[in-house]
Amino acid sequence: MAHGCGSQNSDDIVARKLTALAHPVRLATIRQLAAAGPTGLAAGRLAERLDVAPNALTFHLQKLAAAGLVESHREGQFVYYRAEFDALLALTDHLVGACCSEAEESCGPRCPTSRDR
């Protein structure tokens, strides 16, 4: 505990991203943005779909952006948000990346260690 806070461990970075995802509104947000694809969605339209107050949505979007999971760009009066797909995929890799690396037996047919990549 309380070992150096200067250079952050990879686990800490991933934990920060998971913290950003670990909220019903933010998770639904990411899924909406993921479904919307590279074009993204305007903040207002997102607020409508999720039935969330605009200011509340901004709060959550900022957390997602701080974690590097979404990006925003302005187009006229609208602000479009889109998911950072690379960050999402890297996240899933990290979760089961070291699976069974120290074990003799594999954890199952879907184990990333046991199937070719």
Counting every residue written for the chain, the total comes to: 117
Residue 54 interacting entry, from DNA, a second copy, none, C-beta within 5 to 8 Å by type: DNA
Q: 26: which residues sit within 8 A by CB, 6+ positions away?
A: 20, 60, 63, 64
Contact between 88 and DNA per CB under 7 A? no
* Interacting residue with a second copy among 4, 7, 35, 116 (CB under 8 A): 35
| Cα dist from 104 to 85, 93, 97, 116, whole Å | 33, 21, 16, 17
Listed ranges 26-34, 58-66, 71-79: which one lies at the site for a second copy (CB under 8 A): 26-34
The structure tokens listed for 63 are: 């957390």
54-66 and 10-21 are packed helices; what angle lies between their axes, rounded to 10 degrees? 160
* Interacting residue with a second copy among 5, 7, 19, 115 (CB under 8 A): 19
Contact between 34 and a second copy per CB under 8 A? yes
Contact between 1 and a second copy per CB under 8 A? yes
Rounded distance between C-alpha atoms, residue 46 and residue 39, angstroms: 13
Contact between 46 and a second copy per CB under 8 A? no
* Interacting residue with a second copy among 42, 43, 79, 99 (CB under 8 A): 99
Residues that bind DNA in the complex, under the rule CB under 7 A = 1-2, 19, 23, 25, 42-45, 47, 53-63, 72, 74, 76-79
